[in-house]
């Protein structure tokens, strides 16, 4: 083709080239690894988002558990008798 | 249907397109890389090809654009120091293991490689591939008059360059 410059190619190059180029449609229509993983990555991202947001909301809104002292104080201040407490506990056993 | 046409294009045009790209980019390795990109673009653009021009003109247009763009990027990379000097766009033919020419052909190859990218593509299509100006005009989207001027300017530069290297 190019007699004026005498460029050459490796032996068997054009046969190899045709084989390689004819594989382009298969390579181009095959989804890449990222494309195939996208739905799973999206699902994982949603899950992580829900966990993080849920955790943040719980941390902000949760009321700290009452201490033993506070419970005793409450029972003293209220009119609940010890018998009533025992009855309640036995009822839930 | 497209895949079938694509395979026909590969069988019929891969070799002539290789030589077209090789003339423009110079080295075998670069021509091989550019040709792979050319055929990927051909595959992607094939469904939209409506036959406004002949298949060969369409293919030469894609290959020329890709080769010119490759040379421009390579020049920029070399200018920024990302590529060693011997791998720059003005790579000497003597450094290419797939060049079998004599001293005169080496001087010609070096002179052609020193042309600006688009002018080089025009010069190669006219001088090496002997395409008519009308076809080169369809490939490049330039008028025949402008092409003739560009070719003669390139031929003068090549002559001067060869004389200087002697």
ipTM of the complex: 0.81
Closest approach of chain B CAs to the CA of A35, in angstroms?
A: 18
Kindly indicate the confidence band of residue A35, based on its pLDDT and cuts at 50, 70 and 90. Answer: confident
Cβ-count burial B66-80 (b if 16+ within 10 Å, e if not): bbbebbeebbeebee
Hey, of B2, B4, B14, which one would you mutate to test binding to chain A, going by the most A CBs within 10 A of its CB?
A: B14
Closest CA in chain A for residue B96? A7
- Bigger pLDDT: B26 or B91? B26
In this prediction, residues A26-48 reach a mean pLDDT of 81
Rg over CA atoms, chain B: 16
- Report the alpha-carbon angle A7-B124-B138, nearest 5: 135
Give the whole-angstrom CA distance, residue B15 versus residue B23: 12
> Do the Cβ atoms of B115 and B123 come closer than 8 Å?
yes
- Bigger pLDDT: B149 or B76? B149
Question: Is residue A6 included in any domain, yes or no?
Answer: no
Q: In chain B, what residues touch A6 (CB-CB under 8 Å)?
A: 99-102, 105
Q: Per residue in A59-72, pLDDT tens?
A: 888 777 777 778 77
What local confidence, expressed as pLDDT, does residue A9 receive? 92
Closest approach of chain B CAs to the CA of A34, in angstroms?
A: 20
- In sequence order, what are the beta bridge partners of B99? A7
Structural domain tally of chain A? 1
What local confidence, expressed as pLDDT, does residue A32 receive? 67
Give the whole-angstrom CA distance, residue B106 versus residue A82: 109
Question: Is residue A19 included in any domain, yes or no?
Answer: yes
Q: Per residue in B127-144, pLDDT tens?
A: 999 999 999 999 999 999
In this prediction, residues A71-92 reach a mean pLDDT of 77
pLDDT of residue B88 exceeding 70, the answer is no
pLDDT of residue B113 exceeding 80, the answer is yes
Tokens for A4, please give them: 């004026």
- Angstrom CA distances, B16 to A3, A81, B31, B143, stand at 13, 102, 12, 24
Question: Is residue A3 included in any domain, yes or no?
Answer: no
| 3 state SS for B107-124 | HHHHHHHCCCHHHHHHHH
Q: In chain B, what residues touch A10 (CB-CB under 8 Å)?
A: 28, 98
What local confidence, expressed as pLDDT, does residue B42 receive? 96
The closest CB to that of A28, out of B22, B40, B99, belongs to B40
Sign of CA dihedral B83, B84, B90, B92: negative
What local confidence, expressed as pLDDT, does residue B139 receive? 94
The closest CB to that of B19, out of A2, A22, A28, belongs to A2
Question: Is residue A17 included in any domain, yes or no?
Answer: yes
In this prediction, residues B10-33 reach a mean pLDDT of 94
> Do the Cβ atoms of B38 and A24 come closer than 8 Å?
no
Identify the three-state secondary structure at position B37: helix
Name the residue range of residue A35's domain.
Answer: 13-91
* Interface contact B102-A6, CB threshold 8 A: yes
B→A contacts (Cβ < 8 Å), by residue, are 2-3, 6-7, 10-11, 14-16, 18-19, 22-23, 28, 32, 35-36, 39-40, 43-44, 93, 96, 98-102, 105, 108-109, 112, 127-128
Give the whole-angstrom CA distance, residue B151 versus residue B20: 16
Question: Is residue A2 included in any domain, yes or no?
Answer: no
| 3 state SS for A39-86 | HHHHHHHHHHHHHHHHHHHHHHHCCCCCCHHHHHHHHHHCCCCHHHHH
For the beta carbon of residue B117, count every other beta carbon within 10 angstroms: 20
In this prediction, residues A20-31 reach a mean pLDDT of 87
pLDDT of residue B52 exceeding 80, the answer is no
A→B contacts (Cβ < 8 Å), by residue, are 1-2, 4-10, 14, 17-18, 20-22, 24-25, 28
Give the whole-angstrom CA distance, residue A28 versus residue B36: 12
> Do the Cβ atoms of B136 and B150 come closer than 8 Å?
no
Question: Is residue A57 included in any domain, yes or no?
Answer: yes
The pTM (predicted TM-score) of the whole model is 0.70
Question: Is residue A72 included in any domain, yes or no?
Answer: yes
Closest CA in chain A for residue B32? A17
- Bigger pLDDT: A56 or B132? B132
Task: Tell me the fold of B2-165.
Answer: Rna Polymerase Sigma Factor; Chain: A (1.10.1740)
In this prediction, residues B48-71 reach a mean pLDDT of 92
DSSP percent split of chain B into helix, strand, coil, nearest 5: 80, 0, 20
> Do the Cβ atoms of B68 and B121 come closer than 8 Å?
yes
Closest approach of chain A CAs to the CA of B20, in angstroms?
A: 9
In this prediction, residues B53-58 reach a mean pLDDT of 90
pLDDT of residue B90 exceeding 50, the answer is no
């Amino acid at each position: 083709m190019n007699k004026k410059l005498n460029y050459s190619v490796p032996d068997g190059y054009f046969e190899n080239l045709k084989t390689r180029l004819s594989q382009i449609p298969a390579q181009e229509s095959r989804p890449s690894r990222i494309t195939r993983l996208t739905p799973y990555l999206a699902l994982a991202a949603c899950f992580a988002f829900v966990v993080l947001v849920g955790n943040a909301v719980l941390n902000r809104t949760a009321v700290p558990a009452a201490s033993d002292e506070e419970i005793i104080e409450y029972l003293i201040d209220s009119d609940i008798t010890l018998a009533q407490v025992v009855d309640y506990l036995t009822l839930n056993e | 249907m497209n895949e079938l046409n694509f395979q026909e294009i590969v069988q019929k045009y891969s070799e002539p397109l290789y030589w077209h790209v090789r003339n423009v980019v110079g080295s075998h390795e670069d021509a091989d890389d550019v040709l792979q990109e050319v055929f990927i673009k051909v595959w992607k653009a094939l469904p939209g090809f409506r036959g406004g021009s002949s298949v060969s003109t369409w293919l030469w247009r894609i290959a020329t654009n890709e080769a010119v763009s490759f040379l421009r990027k390579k020049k920029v990379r070399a200018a920024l120091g990302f590529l060693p000097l011997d791998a720059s766009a003005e790579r000497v033919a003597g450094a290419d293991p797939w060049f079998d020419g004599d001293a005169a052909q080496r001087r010609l190859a070096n002179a052609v490689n020193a042309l600006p990218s688009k002018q080089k593509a025009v010069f190669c299509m006219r001088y090496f591939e002997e395409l008519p100006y009308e076809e080169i005009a369809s490939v490049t989207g330039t008028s025949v008059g402008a092409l003739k001027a560009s070719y003669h300017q390139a031929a003068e530069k090549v002559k001067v360059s060869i004389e200087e290297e002697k």
